[in-house]
Amino acid sequence: MSRFSKISLVVGLGNPGSKYADTRHNVGWWFLERLTNDFQFDLKPETRFQGFFGEFRIDQRVIRVLAPTTFMNHSGRSVAPCVSYFKIDPKQILVIHDELDLEPGDCRLKFGGGHGGHNGILDIRKSLDTSDFLRLRLGIGHPKSASMVTRHVLSRPNMPDFELIHRSMDRAMKIMDLVMLGEIERAMHRLHTKDGIHQEPG
């Protein structure tokens, strides 16, 4: 039996406001824009969850979508009430976020594991008291200096990196149907494999 569940909640991480809209830290929100276009639904303000919220259906199932507006470091304040209200098992959550440890153009699915210094993931883990949720990690590259990380994630990518990030989102969108239906191994294989050479199962 698979250790994975069908997805019931998709969370895209970012910071609210035009100041942050085009920054690397907001690639989770960029991806949600793709999702709303492809599955044809809207995200609207929802005060109960301190974020933008919407729903779409796939295979007769309702998938909830949340974009926290609590600022990145307090993402859990948005996610936890939503999870509690709909009684969602953390294993049914997909969190989409920027990843320093992956280069632009690379994206990976990962279940559980450490937060890797990502404050949004850290706060969600604390709020849910578990790390057992699925993550789509969109590579933004590392500035190679710890002192430059904050400036890096809160700045706009250059055009080559911007294009690479969007190409990675193109690839990720192609496996979203599989992810929503809980076929995570198949989705990972397709996303992580190039010509059948490389595979990262977890």
Integer CA distances (angstroms), 53 to 7, 68, 101, 114, 197, in order: 16, 9, 29, 27, 38
Helices (H) and strands (E) in the chain, counts: 7, 7
Whether the Cβ atoms of residue 128 and residue 77 lie closer than 8 Å to each other: no
Enzyme catalytic residues: 25
Q: Which helix (H) or strand (E) segment is 191 a member of?
A: helix 184-192
**DSSP conformation letters of 128-165:** HT---SEEEEEE----SSGGGHHHHHTSPPPHHHHHHH
Residues 6+ apart with CB under 8 A from 164: 103, 104, 105
Which amino acid is it at 80? A
At 183, the amino acid letter reads E
**Alpha carbons 82 and 78: distance in angstroms, whole number:** 7
